[in-house]
Structure 1
Amino acid sequence: MCGIAGLVKKDGTKVFVGEIKAMTDALIHRGPDDEGNYMWGNIGLGHRRLSIIDLSEKGRQPMESHDGKYVIVFNGEIYNYVELKEELKKAGSRFLNDTDTEVILESYRCWGEDCVNHFNGMWSFVIFDRDREILFGSRDRLGVKPFCYINRDDVFAFASEPKGILELFPEERKYNPTVVYRFVKGWALDTDQQTFYKDILQLEPATSMIYHLKTDKIEQKKYWEIDADAIYERCIKGRNPVDEFKSLLEDAVRIRLRSDVEVGSSLSGGLDSSTLVGIISRKFHKRVNTFSSVYEDEDCNEKEYIDEVNQFAGTVPDLVYPSENSHLLEAFEKIVVHHDGPDKTGASLYSGYSVYQEANKSVKVLMDGQGADELLAGYLSSYNALLGDILSEKSLLSKVKAMKIISVFGREWPGQMINISTEALQSALGKRAARHYTRKRPNSFSKPVAMFYKEFEDSVDKSIAEHRGNVRGKLNQELYEQLTASSLPAILHNVDGNSMAFSLEIRLPFLDYRVVEFCMALDKKYKIKNQWTKWILRKSCKEYLPEKVLYRTNKMGFPAPFGRWLRECGEKEEMREMIFALGSRGIVREEAVHEYYRQHISGEADHSDLLCRFLTLEIWFRKCIY
């Protein structure tokens, strides 16, 4: 994992080393091991290196091809670089080092812009093609690695994070009202090119970009789409899906263990991270270092599951005990700065931040389980989409199936009936019987409050781009939306921000594109079966899990007791002051801020998530918007 940056001056004047160094110095946390730059007249490229593969100086970037035609700055990992290198050698390619970076260069020489379809990995990179006089940039299929850029009348610039651009152009510290509005509303983030900064854009996932140096034109092309029907015919039809899934996931872990430094794993105690730890230890016979956060609060404590997995897998465990007494606000400020924006899950982010901080002391690479929930229906809201699929069959048998699902859901998660729509309940049970379940829904708000100042609200674009994929059924469509819009993009943004704060590389086997495609083509019966979410994962990987985790139905995922912190922690008054200060910025009405805070503190309602958004937004304004 690294930091990349680049600058083109459109008037043809020279780019100076000091300008590129200023950009990369702002990204030093992404790559503390080495730095480099490449200057070519009005073009400058810069790089900060976190050494993972081929630790020698031969891996230094920017890297030139052996003939000097191409120069690359690259952030990420190409996990199948070993296989690609052999294929390219047979095609006549020459190699001077053992890095995956050089494999990208030679892949570009061999396959041109289509090279990205040969990669299995996570990446953001830019290649300066001197012959064609272009910059060719690309971002991986799911957007694991960030790519920010700005295109003004005078310059084109890019960087791994906005701060790399802002270091050279501080006048761009202008907030984006539309993204701030989405954030406060709790809507999905990172769903399009917009960022929290008004004029800084991001290259979208699965997208390549060509910047033409002569004409100052930008072309963008989506290079990957999920075609569930084609994937089903190619990978599932006539095969045992359980065996196929297991084989794919094991291979995804195998190639992500390729490293010249030690690889550890995050461990929350949930199904996903526990499975990865089990595969690493029991399939590949590696004694893995695990890193976990533990709280004493009962609704946040997963220690019994963490201990069970560590004992079962024979790991080297490292438990972190985050505390509200450990400079909580200081940590939140650092998180916001590293993320170049506020965060709506700041409390749970604090848990992940604490884990990565501890892991940094002993490893450079961590496995993690992000993506499994979005692929295999790990969120309880997916039951509603499942009911939609079942009831769309419009038969007596489908009604019986729906009634059974509702009964199981009500028994297992009685406090979560808000996840099942009134329409689904009434279609399956009738209006009278449905009331039995609607009465169990919690009342989230004791009193509605008008949120925004009118002038601010009138200035924003409230439209939301639709994310629909070529997948079968309502459940898979919802999972596709979670994968590409409503859930995963923001999670990946947070993972990158938190991990890079401590110069850690995070590897995500569930987001191997082969696993993603396979899961998107799977029938719903392999995802939810009665009370078992992620059924195919439980079925295929049971040998890698202790029974206590295998049959676990409650879900937490690096939780944190932020609601209690607002009432009890030593910095509660400072938090209150910062939350209230947001009301003076002309965005959220002062009356709304005070009322939501009052409702939470009094116990009328739980507004933890909303108040966390208020807090981190105010922190961001103070730290990042001048």
Structure 2
Amino acid sequence: MCGIVGWIGNNAPLSSKVLLSTLNSLKHRGPDHGNHVVFEHNNFLGHRRLAVIDLEARSNQPMKSPCGRYWLVYNGELFNHADLRHNLSNSGTAFLTSSDTEVLLQGLMAYGKDFIKEVNGFFAFAFYDTLTQEVLLGRDRMGIKPLYLFHSEDGLRFSSELKALKSLGVPFHINPQALNEYLLYSYVPEPLCLVDGVVKLSPGTTLQYSSKGGIIQTRYYNVDESAPQKALSFTEAATMCKEKIEYAVGLRMVADVPVGSFLSGGIDSSIIASIAQKLHGGIQTYSIGFEGRNFFDETSVANRTAIALGTKHENIVLSDEKIFNHIDLFFDAMDEPFADSSAINVFHLCKCVKEHITVALSGDGADEVFGGYNKHRALRMSLNPFYRSLLSAIRPLLSTGSSSRGSMLKNKARQLHRLSIGMGKSTRARYAYWAAFSNPNDVHRTLVNPYQGNPSFYDLLPKKIECLNDFLYADQNIILPSDMLTKVDKMSMASSLEVRVPFLDHHVVDLANSLPSSFKIKGSTTKRLLRKGFKNDLPSEVFLRPKHGFEVPLEEWTKTVFSDRIEQFIQKDFLDAQGLFLYKPLRQIFESNQKEGGAETSAFLYSFLVFQEWWARINLIDG
């Protein structure tokens, strides 16, 4: 994977200092090579390379076509590049490298943007025509790779990260709606960005731009909520899903650098590691745990799973001391504020894994595609008249103080309370409520400019959420690109590690989305298709283990080791000058958290801290 940046339609030349600082801001995404090309009329493309396929200098970017007319910068991998190369060669195309980059370049030259429909991979790219001075941008189907855009009278600026746009002079003013939603959900829902005027190119979308023609966006792929249901039995469907997942893993094992796999001991990562081990043998697997914190530790289960699978396994055990000795490096990785606290785990996992491998396989995406979250079971309960009546009757008995994630018992009480509240809302409002981590009242009363409207992602929700599949479509459009995949991209790229996600192969996603909701969850059983398809491939313990999030002891940390860092930003003079937050309610929430704690207040304060750490760093960048 790599980092890309460009500016088309620029009216003034850029200094070598600006170009260098812009490229250097992406160096962690591509430590192996960096270069840029300035074209006529000051248009330019830049690239930082993490070499994975064809490690030779001939595959460095920006890459030029043999005729010199076309240029490409590209972040990602085309997993079916061998088949695409074969087809292009049969049509008379001659290749100079063995890279997937050249395959994408030649395919776009031959077929234009229609070529993307043939690609199986993840990517964000810019394809520039020097004759027409038009650029074609594209992003993969599921939004695995990011692409930020800023369009103004000075043309179109784009990059894999916000920091590079800051270096190119994009004004950084905070979008009030985006700040509100970030504090509420712990991430900024796409296509919003925390920086006003900046947007993210939507997944499955291309964008054509020239100074004369303006912007034309085209959606080439949708997570289709009206996908035709396949007439398969449950057993047939499970077998077909297994075959497609196995094929997806096989495609993602191809690399010219070492490949390993994450392994938590849960269903998703165990399936991926099992397939990789069968295909290649001797696969290296990695898990992460917390010293002295059994509720948050996964290493014992991962060890037993690794022994059963026969992988070469390594546990990465974190302590509070180790985490906080590197906390500034973690905050440095926040290109845009992102407060899903599990990112701390992912950051350290990737940092340690990178010492051994360059590519890691991950089980991300299975929950959103096959129905694995507790909220998915909660949705089915909320649609059942019996459970609705039962929870309505006992709602007054449920404690409003049940808000802690600190133990299994407290977490169950918190979940039951949120379930009962959600059942009293419309289906779309229920989705938004269950997606939130912070209390909306805390968010609204602490902001100078609170946003009171519907969440930006309402337009991405089905008009009615009447079954599990509707909920999963929403997750695939919202949670996946904005939260889960953003987390993996930012935290892995901070250590120059490429993470591949076989469950999000579009053939797997399309098949799963064509199957009935009951194939995914029935009663209290989640991920039925995966359990059925892989029941003979994994230890029974993997399937019996309760769902366990990739969590950290955030409630404790906001009252202890994070406390001083949070409090340093709750200063009246500082907040007044910043003009975003109100001092008095923030102080009240902070003091309340110190005394009582709770999942919602700790989530809000952590989101506030991450924002302020980002603010301090982004304002050091010249722009």
- TM score, norm. by length of structure 2: 0.86
User: Given that residues 285 and 306 in structure 2 are in contact (C-alpha distance below 8 angstroms), is that contact kept between their aligned partners in structure 1?
Assistant: no
Residues 1:564 and 2:556 are matched in the alignment = yes
Q: Deviations over 1:26-63 (max 9, x none)?
A: 11111111122223222211111100000111211111
Alpha-carbon contact 2:208-2:216 (below 8 Å) kept:
yes
Distance 1:579 1:251 in 2: 52
**Alignment correspondent of 2:74:** 74
- Within the candidate set 221, 224, 234, 2:221 is matched to 224
Equivalent residue of 1:95, what SS?
A: coil
| Residue in 1 that maps onto 2:58 | 58
Q: 2:591 aligns to what? A: 598
| Residues 35 and 62 in structure 2, CA contact (< 8 A), matched pair in contact too | yes
1:433-448 matched pairs, under 5 angstroms: none
Is 1:129 the counterpart of 2:129 in the alignment?
yes
- 1:243 matches 2:239: yes
**Counterpart among 246, 264, 282 of residue 278 in structure 2:** 282
Partners in 2 of 1:604 and 1:365 — Cα distance? Answer: 39
Task: Give how far 1:464 is off.
Answer: 4.5
Contact 1:370 1:508 in 2 (8 A): yes
What percent of counterpart residues are identical?
Answer: 25
For 1:190 and 1:401, the matched residues in 2 are separated by: 30
* 1:329-359 CA distance string (max 9 Å, x none): x6444334323222221x3211111111101
1:245-296 CA-to-partner distances (Å, cap 9, x unmatched) read 0001001100000100011112223221122111111344342232423342
- Paired residues for 1:421-500 under 5 Å: 421=420, 451-452=444-445, 455-457=448-450, 464-468=457-461, 473-500=466-493
User: Which residue type is aligned with residue 488 of structure 2?
Assistant: V
Other structure's SS at 2:124 match = strand
In the TM superposition, 1:40-439 aligns within 5 A as: 40-41=39-40, 42-169=42-169, 172-186=171-185, 189-192=188-191, 194-213=192-211, 215=212, 217-227=214-224, 230=227, 232-233=229-230, 236=232, 240-326=236-322, 328=324, 331-345=326-340, 347-387=341-381, 414-415=412-413, 416-421=415-420
Does the 8 A contact of 1:265 with 1:277 survive in 2? yes
Letter aligned with residue 45 of structure 2: L
Give, in whole Å, the separation in 1 of the partners of 2:494 and 2:36.
22
Contact 2:569 2:575 (C-alpha < 8 Å) held by counterparts:
no
1:552 aligns with 2:566: no
1:477 aligned counterpart, secondary structure: helix
2:568 pairs with 559, 571, 577, which one? 577
The answer for the alignment partner of 1:526 in structure 2 is: 519
Quote the offset at 1:469 in angstroms: 5.5
CA contact (8 A) 2:457 2:478 kept: no
CA contact (8 A) 2:291 2:318 kept: yes
Could you list the per-position Cα deviations for residues 357-391 of structure 1 after superposition, in whole angstroms to 9, with x for gaps in the alignment? 10111111111111111112211111233235555
Q: Is the 8 A contact 2:382 2:388 kept in 1?
A: no
How far apart in 2 are the matches of 1:508 and 1:203?
20
Choose which of 509, 519, 526 in structure 2 pairs with 1:516: 509
Distance of 2:496 and 2:519 partners within structure 1: 37
SS in structure 1 at match of 2:459: coil
2:245 aligned counterpart, secondary structure: helix
Cα deviation for residue 613 of structure 1 reads: 0.7
Whether the 8 Å CA contact 1:265–1:291 is kept in 2: the answer is no
Of residues 582, 589, 610, the one that matches 1:589 is 582
Distance 1:189 1:385 in 2: 24
Distance 1:617 1:18, change over 3 A: closer
Alpha-carbon spacing, 1:281–1:108, altered in 2? closer, same or farther (3 Å): same
Q: Residue 599 of structure 1: CA displacement? A: 2.9
CA drift at 1:560:
1.1
Aligned-pair CA distance for 1:239: 8.2
The residue that corresponds to 2:403 in the other structure is none
Distance 2:22 2:326 in 1: 24
Q: CA deviation at 1:24?
A: 1.2
DSSP-derived class of the 2:536 partner: helix
Q: C-alpha offsets along residues 422-441 of structure 1, whole Å, 9 cap, x if unaligned?
A: 68699xxxxxxxxxxxxxx9
Aligned to 2:404: none
Indicate how the Cα distance of structure 1 residues 71 and 609 shifts in structure 2: closer, same or farther if over 3 A, else same: same
CA contact (8 A) 1:579 1:615 kept: no
The residue identity in structure 2 corresponding to 1:260 is: D
Contact 1:526 1:536 in 2 (8 A): yes
Give CA deviations for 1:464-517 in whole Å, capped at 9, x if unaligned: 442146999521111111111145422211211111111110100111111111
State the shift of 1:238 in Å.
Answer: 10
Question: C-alpha distance in 1, partners of 2:219/2:179?
Answer: 27
Q: Match for 2:604 among 591, 606, 610? A: 610
Q: How far is the alpha carbon of 1:520 from its aligned partner?
A: 1.5
Q: 1:423 to 1:52 in 2, by over 3 A?
A: closer
- Report if the CA contact (8 A) 1:188-1:485 is conserved: no
1:210 counterpart SS class:
strand
CA distance in structure 2 between the aligned counterparts of 1:578 and 1:496, rounded to whole angstroms: 28
Contact 2:187/2:339, CA 8 A, preserved across alignment: no
Sort the Cα spacing of 1:447 and 1:484 in 2 relative to 1 into closer, same or farther, 3 A: closer
In structure 1, the gaps of 5 or more residues are 392-398, 427-440
1:31 paired residue number: 30
Deviations 1:401-443 (A, max 9, x none): 9999x99xx99995332353468699xxxxxxxxxxxxxx9xx
Q: Distance in 2 between matches of 1:562 and 1:483?
A: 26
> Structure 1 residues 449, 144: closer, same or farther in 2, change over 3 A?
closer
Q: Does structure 2 retain, via aligned residues, the 8 Å contact 1:35–1:47?
A: yes
Q: Distance in 1 between matches of 2:465 and 2:196?
A: 37
CA distance in 2 between counterparts of 1:16 and 1:216 reads 27
Does the C-alpha gap of structure 1 residues 549 and 200 become closer, same or farther in structure 2, counting only changes over 3 Å? same
> 1:364, 1:504 within 8 Å by CA — same for their partners in 2?
yes
- Please report how far the alpha carbon of residue 453 of structure 1 lies from its aligned counterpart in structure 2 after TM superposition: 5.2
Q: Give the deviation of 1:463 after TM superposition.
A: 5.1
What do residues 500-546 of structure 1 show as CA deviations (whole Å, max 9, x unaligned)?
11111010011111111111222112211232211111111123322
Over aligned residue pairs, what C-alpha RMSD do you find?
A: 3.4
In the TM superposition, what is the alpha-carbon distance from 1:23 to its structure 2 partner? 1.6
Asked whether the equivalents of residues 446 and 605 of structure 1 are also in contact (C-alpha less than 8 Å), the reply is no
Gaps in structure 2 of 5+ consecutive residues: 399-407, 426-433
SS for the counterpart of 2:158 is: strand
SS at match of 2:153: coil
Q: CA deviation at 1:555?
A: 1.5
Q: Distance in 1 between matches of 2:424 and 2:447?
A: 37
Does the CA-based 8 Å contact 1:187-1:486 persist in structure 2?
A: no
Amino acid corresponding to residue 93 of structure 1 in structure 2:
T
